[in-house]
Amino acid sequence: MTDKQVPLTREGKAKLEVELEQLRAQRRVVADRIHNAQEQGTSQNDAEYDDAKQEQGMVEGRILEVEDILRRAITIDERGAHTAGRVVIGSGVEVEQDGKPRHYQIVGAPEADPTKGKISNESPVGSALLGKGVGDIVDVNVPKGLIKVKVLKID
């Protein structure tokens, strides 16, 4: 695991903390399922045991992942981002892309959700917008090719 800092909004950090608590509760439920399947000891329960062991592996893996993210998390200064004259992590930014206006919030990778307009600072568009000001036009290399994005407003 790396020690690279992970930028998160307060909301994003809170969601991860809630998810971690839910995963820890789920861990106990899965452990009970494994225990019950072992006690029964019949071949009918082998599938249930295997299923529970697989779920346990996924839950434990996600717990480790979320704990690592939270350990490396730095909280984004959203107030400062809204008053910055340049696009920074936490900024809302209105752009013209493919001739259409779009609004994004630049966030850290763990809370990116493009369907809600939250794009990662590590994504092609997000990283290209960082440091740009109103009126700047940037070429972004995306999977479908090169696109031009113009910064219309930073909020």
Q: Is residue 1 part of a domain?
A: no
CA dist 99 and 72 (Å) reads: 38
Residues 84 and 64 in one domain: no
CA dist 95 and 129 (Å) reads: 9
Q: Is residue 102 part of a domain?
A: yes
Residues 93 and 140 in one domain: yes
Instruction: State yes or no: pLDDT of 140 exceeds 70.
Output: yes
Q: Are strands 92-97 and 73-75 parallel, antiparallel or unpaired?
A: unpaired
Residues 82 and 143 in one domain: yes
**54: domain CATH number?**
1.10.287.180
So what's the pLDDT on residue 70? 96
Residues 110 and 64 in one domain: no
Residues 64 and 83 in one domain: no
Instruction: State yes or no: pLDDT of 48 exceeds 70.
Output: yes
CA 30 to mean position of chain CA atoms = 25
**Which residue type, as a one-letter code, is found at position 111?**
E
Structural domain including 31 reads 6-75
Structure tokens, 89: 């992590």
Which whole number is the average pLDDT over 44-58? 86
DSSP 144: T
So what's the pLDDT on residue 44? 61
Number of separate domains in the chain: 2
Residues 139 and 122 in one domain: yes
For residue 42, what pLDDT band results from cuts at 50, 70 and 90? Answer: low
CA dist 71 and 150 (Å) reads: 36
Instruction: State yes or no: pLDDT of 43 exceeds 70.
Output: no
So what's the pLDDT on residue 124? 95
Q: Where are the beta strands (DSSP E) in the chain?
A: 6-8, 73-75, 92-97, 100-107, 118-120, 137-142, 145-154
pTM reported for the whole predicted model: 0.79
Q: How far is the CA of 54 from the CAs of 4, 21, 28, 31, 85, in angstroms? A: 30, 20, 14, 11, 49
